[in-house]
Amino acid sequence: GYTCCDENLNVVYAHDENGDWSYDFKKMVWCGLTPYIEPEKGECWSEKLGYPCCKSCSVYETDENGKWGYENKQWCGV
């Protein structure tokens, strides 16, 4: 998965269905520029499947339900 960009990185090098992307030349990795917006209670799609919402924007898997992250030793919806 990809992490969110540091605050000082704001140049868009790519855009796709996941949002805007920048490149951290010091770490030599892509990072997400699209801000993570905390869903309001009951809004997260993964909760109806028994999984919490992620606090970060790192995506490790994508399936027919949506994008999945991994936090606190469990899967979560991104």
Q: Rounded to whole angstroms, how far apart are CA atoms 12 and 40? A: 28
Residues 59 and 78: beta-carbon distance below 8 Å: yes
Note the pLDDT of residue 42. 57
2, pLDDT greater than 70:
yes
Higher pLDDT among residues 31 and 7, named by residue: 31
Per residue in 25-77, pLDDT (tens digit) is: 999 999 988 765 555 665 788 999 999 988 877 788 899 999 998 888 999 99
Mean per-residue pLDDT, 13-33: 91
Q: Rounded to whole angstroms, how far apart are CA atoms 33 and 9? A: 8
